[in-house]
Amino acid sequence: MTTLDAAGRAAAATHPAVADYLAHLEVERRMSAHTLDAYRRDLAALAGWAQAQDQGELLALDSAAIRAFVAAEHRRGLAPKSLQRRLSGCRSFYQWLLRHARIRANPATGIRAPRAPRKLPQVLDVDEAVALVEVPTDAPLGLRDRALLELFYSSGLRLSELRLLRWRDLDLAEGLVTVLGKGSRQRTVPVGSHACRALEAWRAEGVAGQRPGPEAPVFPGRGGAPISARAIQLRLRALGQRQGLFKHVHPHMLRHSFASHVLESSGDLRGVQELLGHADIATTQIYTHLDFQHLARVYDDAHPRARRRKGPVGD
């Protein structure tokens, strides 16, 4: 613990408003010890900074001081997500003080932490996706694995949507599947021909030689209930390794790969939004960045004057 951290903890611990606020969180809000400690650290950091900067006591800080505190924490190396949480903790403290008429305005209102860089999802390229879904069907559970992988990649389903599917949700003659997504929004999406054939073969094999009925889970686990999410995650990881992929294969990677490949071929962002069941197109727009990365690589590899130079440019 640094001297500044120690000073902050001491200042926060002895401040009556901080003590009252933490008691409110513990008794009235019934927050866990872990959450309480997080709020305590946030306020200790603010108190320590204010003391070190001769900014006065916590109740007298203004917006400029809070903004300077956020900048100082950022320079100190606090990650954007941690900084957002710290600022949220301070904002909640001042909001409670304002509600109890201990201050006239919340100095943390309207102040934002640096935005965390958004990580692009990792995807399989087309060759990797084909290598993954074409698992041998003569292996134990091979027909099930092929049907599960083909449907994941064919229709871009979420893990929860796939595991809860029942045979009545599939129209293999028309190549369609109807799922209940987030927010209880129902959507119908296409199922590719390879996936339809794999699902037909899996259904024909049946359980104990009997063809499943319309209410039966498409992918049953123990006792006939839908397979667990964890079982699917572990199976995909094992199948990825078996098929020689060096990436950590997981259910959402297949959904990302589906979206990226469809967008790359069609350029239809709205269409991909509908297929994925995104309520907001901003969620879908991340795949445009993936598509641009692909185009940038093609350009760099193909254009004779596009290859980026390494090292300093000569005179």
217 and 297, same domain (yes or no): yes
| Same-domain status, 144 and 221 | yes
According to DSSP, the residues that pair with 106 across neighbouring strands are none
CATH number of the domain enclosing 76: 1.10.150
**Mean of the per-residue pLDDT values of the chain:** 84
Q: Give start and end residues of each alpha helix (H) in the chain.
A: 3-14, 16-27, 33-52, 63-75, 80-99, 126-133, 142-155, 159-163, 193-205, 229-242, 251-266, 269-276, 281-284, 286-302
Residues 77 and 134 in one domain: no
Nearest 5°: the CA angle 224, 229, 234 is 105
Number of domains in the chain: 2
Beta bridge partners of 28: none
Domain annotation covers residue 312: no
Would you say 216 and 208 are in contact if contact means Cβ atoms under 8 Å apart? no
pLDDT tens-digit profile of 44-59?
A: 999 889 888 888 788 9
First to last CA, the chain: 50
**pLDDT tens digits, 143-196:** 999 999 999 999 889 999 999 999 999 999 999 999 988 878 888 888 999 999
Asked if residue 80 and residue 196 are part of one domain, the reply reads: no
The per-residue b/e assignment along 281-315, b for 16 or more CB within 10 angstroms, e otherwise, is eeebeebeebbeeeeeeeeeeeeeeeeeeeeeeee
pLDDT category at 27 given cuts 50, 70, 90 is: very high
Residue 272 lies in a domain: yes
Confidence band (pLDDT; 50, 70, 90) for 14? low
Top pLDDT among 282 and 133 is at: 133
User: Would you call 136 helix, strand, or coil by DSSP?
Assistant: coil
Nearest to 239 by CA among 121, 142, 122, 127: 142
> Do 263 and 288 form a contact (C-beta atoms < 8 A)?
yes
Q: Are residues 169 and 37 in the same domain?
A: no
What is the residue type of 27?
A: V
Report d(CA 188, CA 112) in Å as an integer. 39
Task: Give the model's confidence band at 305: pLDDT under 50 very low, under 70 low, under 90 confident, else very high.
Answer: low
| Six-digit token string for 110 | 């309207």
Q: Order across the sheet with 176-180: list the strands.
A: 170-171, 176-180, 186-190
242-269 residue pLDDT tens: 999 989 999 989 988 888 888 777 777 7
- Average of per-residue pLDDT across 204-230: 88
Q: Which residue has the higher pLDDT, 312 or 67?
A: 67
> In sequence order, which residues have a C-beta less than 8 Å from that of residue 93 and are 6 or more positions away?
18, 21, 39, 42, 43
Query: Residue range 279-289: average pLDDT?
Result: 71
Report, as residue numbers or ranges, the catalytic residues. 158, 182, 252, 255, 278, 287
- In-domain check, residue 116: no
Higher-pLDDT residue of 14 and 274 is 274
How confident is residue 311, by pLDDT bands cut at 50, 70 and 90? very low
If asked whether residues 20 and 168 sit together in one domain, one would say no
The fraction of the chain above a pLDDT of 70, given in percent, is 84
Single out the residue of 145, 204, 199 nearest to residue 177, CA to CA: 199
Judge if 31 and 146 occupy the same domain: no
Mean pLDDT, rounded, for 15-24: 90
Same domain for 68 and 203?
no
Residue 302 has pLDDT above 80, yes or no: no
CATH number of the domain residue 160 falls in: 1.10.443.10
Residue 55 lies in a domain: yes
Identify the pLDDT of residue 295. Answer: 57
The whole-angstrom separation of Cα 132 and Cα 50 is 56
pLDDT value of position 292: 61
| 72-81 average pLDDT score | 89
Same domain as 214, residue 82: no
Q: State the pTM of this model.
A: 0.58
Q: How would residue 239 be classed by pLDDT, with cut points 50, 70 and 90?
A: very high
Which structural domain, as residue segments, surrounds residue 40?
3-99
Distances in whole angstroms, Cα of residue 172 to Cα of each of 150, 273, 276, 309: 13, 23, 19, 52
Looking at per-residue confidence, does 298 or 195 come out higher? 195
Q: What confidence category does residue 102 fall into, taking pLDDT thresholds of 50, 70 and 90?
A: very high
